[in-house]
Structure 1
Amino acid sequence: MEGGIKARSVRGTIGETWWSRRFIAVLESLGVGGRLGRGKNYARQGQVLSLEVAPGVVSAVVQGSRDEPYTLTIRFAPVPDWRPVEDAIAARALFSAQLLAGEMPAALEEVFDAAGVPLFPRRSRDLVMQCSCPDYAVPCKHIAATFYLLAEAFDADPFQILLWRGRGRDELLAHLGPATLFEEQVPGVFDEVRLPPLDEVIDRYWVAPVPLPTRPTTLDTATDLLLRQLPTPGAGLGGSALIERLRPLYAAFAVEE
């Protein structure tokens, strides 16, 4: 379908990351997955014309066999209180760093469970699916196609999962605070470092803070030390005879220095 959203996967399973595969696995465990295959071709053919994720609801427009495309929604009640989840994420700076890097922390699902709310649906009734098509099966192939593309949207941006659960990227990061990424640095390391005001040292700005030695420090070693550390050259290069030719040259270089 020209202008539609096509799944990146052209064959086999859909979902590249652990969190998108987990999402599909959850749907299968809820008895929804058995009907997902009906929409895989739709997802790959670009029948889904639009897909939008918002807090608690996924909306899509899917072109079916009729001229008029179908509209559908997949609702999953958002988390009522995000504070326990946000506190847990803020306590572990690595979580925020992983999310900003496009990775879903493996333990994030446990964080949601500990807060008493699921990251993914737990029961089939957690999902309310509606489509304007005449198919009585739930999910229909239009909803199934949307599930597949939703999984790929999660692949591309794990914040889409959190948005569906009620927190967008900007809002979540604002609640976590700007210092979250740096909370795990060792405290007190730089506490005693105090730099003078620039106007007091402007005349010494380009001067090294520690005087440089008059010449680089050298070691009193034999001039052929490097040659003795090298492996014997191959026969094509002259073998050990090459080293003997180089030895007086190294000695001469040392005298000239």
Structure 2
Amino acid sequence: MTNSYTEISREWWVERWLELLDSYRFKKRLERARVYARQGNVLSIEFQTQKVFARVQGTEIEPYQVSIWLESFTDEEWQYVIETMSQKAIFSAKLLAGEMPSNIEQVFTGNGLSLFPFRLDDVRSQCSCPDQANPCKHIGAVYYLLADRFGEDPFVLFQLRGRTKEQIIEALRQMRSRGSIDRGNKGETPIYQPQYSLKIDRFWQYDEPLESALVVIVPPPSNETVLDVLGNIPLANDATKNPESNPASTKAVMQYLDSVYKAVSQQAIISAMKVGE
């Protein structure tokens, strides 16, 4: 089996998979796995339902048998996920076009699930080699080549969780079609007619309560403010109107505004946390 494993820029879901593997603490074993992947020691990779089966040539004459799988979601869990997908036009449009939405994980986390495993231990694997370590270098080599498969077909991730691309797309089509028919008014209203009319005065109004468990309040990722982006404010001297004529005043104003911005940011976080209590 030829392989295309190279150190190149990859899609975000491929990077997530490789980051999971790179978290493994035995780095020398990972390096041997990379060598196996690059040298073509993985002879074949096949997908049977939600499991991956591979043949990896090791030091013995006969190749080792490797199997990898993830915990499948139940039918009920998949039903919730697909219903959520169908309610978001962008998800449905991209998935029906065979593309992976960039924020697809929101669909799963919103239903208490995770498309990606949290830890490498969450990925189940077996190898027929005598090495008791898991993952061994043969399993590791298949891990790396799976990243290539994910890049070619991101729907493989769904398959490892128990649903094929065809199953998901067909379920989405049926659900969206059923929803369109339900919105019709006994056949009197065309099913593609918009369900709601736009009311400008209520555009920003939201009357439903927020689910507090889904709201996470965190400080900004850095201490930078808009002042750091825009730079110093040029203050002209009254007499000369020269922006550079009074640098001391400019510095003082910038220091004051910086303290105001940071104080406002901190107060906003405190206020938001009080509201969420």
Same fold (TM over 0.5): yes
Which secondary structure state, in structure 2, belongs to the residue aligned with residue 152 of structure 1?
Answer: helix
Q: Tell me the secondary structure at the aligned position of residue 149 of structure 2.
A: helix
| 2:52 aligned counterpart, secondary structure | strand
What displacement does 1:31 show? Answer: 4.7
1:69 paired residue number: 63
> Which letter does structure 2 place at the counterpart of 1:111?
V
How far the C-alpha of 1:180 sits from its partner, in A, is 4.3
Alignment partners' CA distance in 2, 1:179 and 1:45: 46
Tell me, in whole angstroms, the C-alpha distance in 2 between the residues paired with 1:54 and 1:117: 23
Q: How many Å apart are 1:40 and its aligned residue?
A: 1.2
Question: 1:139 offset after TM fit, Å?
Answer: 0.9
What is the distance in 2 between the residues matched to 1:34 and 1:97?
A: 43
Deviations 1:102-123 (A, max 9, x none): 5321211121112122101113
Distance (whole Å) between structure 1 residues aligned to residue 87 and residue 25 of structure 2: 36
Q: Distance in 1 between matches of 2:26 and 2:78?
A: 27
Q: Secondary structure at the match of 2:142?
A: helix
Residue number in structure 2 paired with 1:155: 151
- 1:164-190 superposed Cα distances (whole Å, 9 cap, x missing partner): 11100111111112574997xx9537x
Instruction: Give the letter for the 1:28 counterpart.
Output: D
Structure 2 counterparts to residues 143-222 of structure 1, below 5 A: 143-177=139-173, 180=176, 187-188=192-193
Q: Which amino acid aligns with 2:99?
A: E
CA RMSD between the two structures: 2.6
Larger radius of gyration: 1
TM-score by length of structure 2 reads 0.58
The CA distance in 2 between the partners of 1:31 and 1:117, in whole Å, is 26
Q: Is the 8 A contact 1:54 1:164 kept in 2?
A: no
Distance 1:55 1:108, change over 3 A: farther
Pair 1:6-2:3 in alignment: yes
User: Residues 95 and 169 of structure 2 are in contact (CA less than 8 Å); yes or no, is this contact kept in structure 1?
Assistant: no
1:123 paired residue number: 119
| Alpha-carbon separation, structure 1, partners of 2:176 and 2:12 | 25
Tell me if the contact between 2:20 and 2:120 (Cα under 8 Å) persists in the aligned partners: no
> How many pairs are equivalent?
181
Percent identity at matched positions? 40
Question: Where does the alignment leave 5 or more consecutive residues of structure 1 unmatched?
Answer: 190-257
Structure 2: 5+ residue stretches without partners:
181-190, 195-277
- What is the Cα deviation at residue 53 of structure 1? 2.6
Name the counterpart of 1:59.
53
1:238-257 to structure 2, matched below 5 A, reads none
What does residue 91 of structure 2 align with? 95
What displacement does 1:38 show? 2.0
Q: Note if contact 2:83-2:175 (Cα within 8 Å) is conserved in structure 1.
A: no
